[in-house]
Amino acid sequence: MSAADTAWLITATALVLFMTLPGLALFYGGLVHARNLLSVLMHCYTIACLASLMWLVVLYSLAFSEGSAFIGGLDKAFLAGVGRETVYPDTTIPETVFFMFQMTFAIITPALIVGAFVERIKFSAVLLFTAIWLVLVYAPVTHWIWGGGWLGGMGVMDYAGGLVVHVTAGASALVLVAALGARRGFPRDVKPPHAPWMTMAGASMLWVGWFGFNAGSALSSGGDAGMAMAVTHISAATGSLVWLVIEWLKFGKPSLIGIVTGTIAGLATITPASGFVGPGAAVIIGLVGGTICYYAVDLVKQRFAIDDSLDVFAVHGVGGATGILLTAIFVDAALGGAGLPEGVSMLGQFGVQLTGLVVVAVWSVIVSFGIIKLVSALVGLRVSEQDEITGLDVTAHGESGYNL
């Protein structure tokens, strides 16, 4: 064990948990109506608790224990065989720390999907969908790429979760929104976010926490972590300014909601590339990611009239996919990257990345569709129209976010 590496990974674990609690909760909470604020906070908080217990019981073992090329076994259920002094293979950190670090990824991924279905979904449906989705989508994909599975064996490069986190969440969110239907009044009569300041505060926490997300994925405290942190920050800043400029030119006024959405787009796009590219590439990745995600939001909501309420697919799904493909280009040592594997060309790596993207997106869509059908049959998906009008804070939880 290395004390330095262990200390950094413990810190990174706290940072990634900070992304969901409270970062993502406040980011999403500020974007909804005041009458639905607590429901969003409840979704994020409860998912964190549910995913944590499920990670201990079975998910960690399915994702990271030896098994087949498609799924891990049950050898490490309840952390069986993992003691205080057990070191995770090919690292210098305790396996308990690795277990906790990866748990925070399993927490934030289904929490990202919350942004797609806010203000109209049953709380029971959120819990049931999340539990099944973690077993059938998140754990297998994690094993495929990071746990010794077949996509990792093919050479797919996903440093911190472009596929594992962002594409799975984005693709699944789109399917769930299609089944759930739009909010009342969408798209012509959608009220603006009730607390943009809260969204900015949440985005700031996400930005800081993302250093743990990407730099922590080095699993050490060395130069790889330092470069991952640097490119993460540069891409986030670039994506923010890109969104600001586009809005300014298009509407004449740059918005706070716009610039912080650009931040998340830049962060999502750099995530899969963060350990493989240099600072110059980070500027381009932030520029491309911010631009593509901006127009993806418009395309999804305006052109196709799909009420992906808080842009989970357009920002996380599209951003993660864009970053996965750009990784194949900017990993090249000639462009300041860490270098392609021996004997692999840029075009060859692009094909591998594209294969991984298609497989993960299609798996997420098909399995999520089946889960939605099951959840709909068991508990139903959508609240009543009257509950939607009254707000989920009171009707689902008996509380109000503002007692003035």
Helices (H) and strands (E) in the chain, counts: 17, 0
Q: What is the spatial distance between Cα 318 and Cα 159, in angstroms, rounded to a whole number?
A: 17
Q: What pLDDT was estimated at residue 164? A: 98
Q: What pLDDT was estimated at residue 15? A: 98
Model confidence at 378, in pLDDT bands (50, 70, 90)?
very high
How many C-alpha atoms does 52 have within 13 Å on its Cβ side? 12
Model confidence at 387, in pLDDT bands (50, 70, 90)?
very high
DSSP characters over 39-50: HHHHHHHHHHHH
User: What's CA 144's distance to the chain center, in Å?
Assistant: 17
C-beta separation of 272 from 353 below 8 A: no
How high is the mean pLDDT of the chain?
97
DSSP secondary structure letter of residue 263: H
DSSP secondary structure letter of residue 253: S
Q: What pLDDT was estimated at residue 74? A: 97
Q: What is the spatial distance between Cα 281 and Cα 330, in angstroms, rounded to a whole number?
A: 6
Q: 């003691």: which residue's tokens?
A: 83
SS3 181: coil
| pLDDT digits 0-9 by tens, 207-257 | 999 999 999 999 999 999 999 999 999 999 999 999 999 999 999 999 999
Mean per-residue pLDDT, 20-40: 98
Locate all alpha helices (DSSP H) within 134-222, ordered by sequence.
139-146, 150-154, 168-180, 196-215
Q: 């959405």: which residue's tokens?
A: 261
Q: What pLDDT was estimated at residue 190? A: 84
Model confidence at 188, in pLDDT bands (50, 70, 90)?
confident
DSSP secondary structure letter of residue 201: H
**pLDDT surpasses 90 at 404:** no
Alpha-carbon dihedral 127, 130, 136, 138, rounded to 10 degrees: -150
List the domain boundaries for the chain.
3-397
Q: What CATH homologous superfamily does 3-397 map to? A: Ammonium transporter AmtB like domains (1.10.3430.10)
Mean per-residue pLDDT, 293-302: 96
Phi and psi for 382 in degrees, rounded to 5?
-105, 145
Q: What pLDDT was estimated at residue 276? A: 98
This prediction's pTM: 0.97
Taking alpha carbons only, the member of 85, 83, 84, 65 closest to residue 75 is 65
